[in-house]
Amino acid sequence: MTEIEQRAYIKICTTLDQSPTIIHDNLVKVYGEAAYSYRNVARWAALFKAGKSKLMDKTRSGRPITEMNKANIDLVQSLIDKNPRISYSILEEKTFLSRGTLNRIIKDKLKLTKRSSRWVPHKLSLKNKQQRLEFCQAILEKFRKGEWRLDQILTGDECIFYWRSIEKRGSSSSWKRAGEPPDTLVKRDRYEPKTMVVIFFRSSGPALIHAVEKGVTIDNVYYIDNCLSPAFESIRKQRRSSGLHGIKLLHDGAKPHIHYNVRNFIESNGVIEIDHPPYSPDLAPCDYWLFDYIKQHLGDQQDEKSLIKSITKIVKEIPHKEWIKTFNKYIERLEKCVDVEGSYFEHLMK
């Protein structure tokens, strides 16, 4: 049986959904050592499944037959179309092409590059996007008309800080000699010591740093007595002539924050509350800057007292220009959110 006849047989059997293993076994039973190898059978079966119709190799005068042919390119394209996350190992298994050939097909012929998936905080619904868009447009309008100023915004939130710091994998790599084992990092467990800290700040710097005692739950009463009241008092001391006049409070929609007692307290103090849209950490200065900044500079701590002392030192040593820069970034983020019609935009930030 010639090569063309073997290919014809493989094509017919592949059309009948027979596996390459069965096809190869049948060829070996009849033609012994003259039969195609299993690798060749599987390769031609894959090509026929991908749509190859001709039995002949496409040759070009004066040049050797190459695996960079249209059939192989189409096969690789079809596999990638079916599974955009397919690995080189699986492509090698499916096509029987070398890693180098696959690399040339993918990069030179198909012009493809593999990019990591982008993580987002939440799968935004159309309603979520519309809320974000309308929020950003309304806030930007206030600033553009001069009705609001950045130095009038007070923002804050709670965050859990562990006593033991863990570096990110990318920043924990270290140079090793041949044969030396890598360093190890111990994962956190659910019982590791930690403390919840509440921080409020403005473009001029911090207004409150408060540690929540272990076992205490932040409800609306606790939030008023231990967070908002001292934060407001701190601002009164900072702004002796104007006090809380013109202050706008930006905090998220956590239940204690939106309780009617909390809202009544905020209003009674003459503070304007900014209704932060849900699922929007990218529009909260605490989330997109301050908390990560603190964690990057925070080392291992012996106890809660040491933790709070270190956090306070880090926050108070932040240069004044950084606080201003953060609120300028807030305007930039509002504009980006409008540009993408309420979608997440972190990947567009420089």
Taking only Cα atoms into account, the Rg of the chain, rounded to an integer number of angstroms, comes to 32
User: What's the domain count of the chain?
Assistant: 2
Whether 342 and 133 have beta carbons less than 8 Å apart is answered as yes
Whether residues 98 and 212 fall in one domain = no
Is 66:72 a contact under the CB 8 Å cutoff? no
pLDDT at 114: 81
- Distance from C-alpha of 277 to C-alpha of 283, rounded to nearest angstrom: 9
Cα–Cα dist 43/20, whole Å: 9
Which pLDDT band holds residue 162 (cuts at 50, 70, 90)? very high
Q: Which domain does 140 fall in, by range?
A: 126-170+192-348
In terms of DSSP bridges, do strands 194-202 and 153-162 run parallel, antiparallel, or are they unpaired? antiparallel
| Confidence check: pLDDT of 276 > 80 | yes
User: Both 165 and 102 in a single domain?
Assistant: no
Q: Are residues 73 and 162 in the same domain?
A: no
Contact call for residues 97 and 83 (beta carbons, < 8 A)? no
Note whether 217 and 94 are same-domain residues. Answer: no
How high is the pLDDT of residue 126? 96
Tell me what the mean pLDDT of segment 155-164 comes to.
96
Residues making up the chain, counted from first to last: 350
Query: Does some domain include residue 177?
Result: no
Same-domain check for residues 213 and 311: yes
Single-letter code of the amino acid located at 65: I
Q: Percent of the chain beyond pLDDT 70? A: 94
Specify the DSSP element, H or E, that contains 208: strand 205-212
What are the tens digits of pLDDT across the range 168-222?
A: 655 556 677 777 887 777 788 888 999 999 999 999 999 999 999 999 999 999 9
Q: Same structural domain for residues 46 and 105?
A: yes
Residue 182 domain flag: no
CB count, 10 Å around CB of 21? Answer: 12
> SS3 breakdown of the chain: % helix, strand, coil, rounded to 5?
50, 10, 40
Classify residue 128 by burial, with Cβ atoms within 10 Å: 0-12, 13-18, 19+: middle
* 149 and 33 co-located in one domain: no
Instruction: Assess if residue 187 is contained within a domain.
Output: no
Q: What is the residue type of 78?
A: S
185 part of a folded domain: no
Band of pLDDT at residue 268, cut at 50, 70 and 90 = very high
Q: What average pLDDT does the structure give for the chain? A: 89
Mean pLDDT confidence for 36-56: 84
Q: Is residue 73 a part of any domain in this protein?
A: yes
Residue 181 domain-assigned?
Answer: no
User: 161: which DSSP letter?
Assistant: E
Q: Which two tokens stand for residue 130?
A: 């519309």
Residues 81 and 147 in one domain: no
- Is there a single domain that holds both residue 219 and residue 274? yes
pLDDT over 80 (residue 62): no
Q: For residue 335, what is the domain's CATH number?
A: 3.30.420.10
Domain co-membership, 259 together with 198: yes
Q: Are residues 154 and 299 in the same domain?
A: yes
Same domain membership, residue 141 and residue 21: no
The answer as to whether 115 is a domain residue is: no
The per-residue pLDDT for 63 is 44
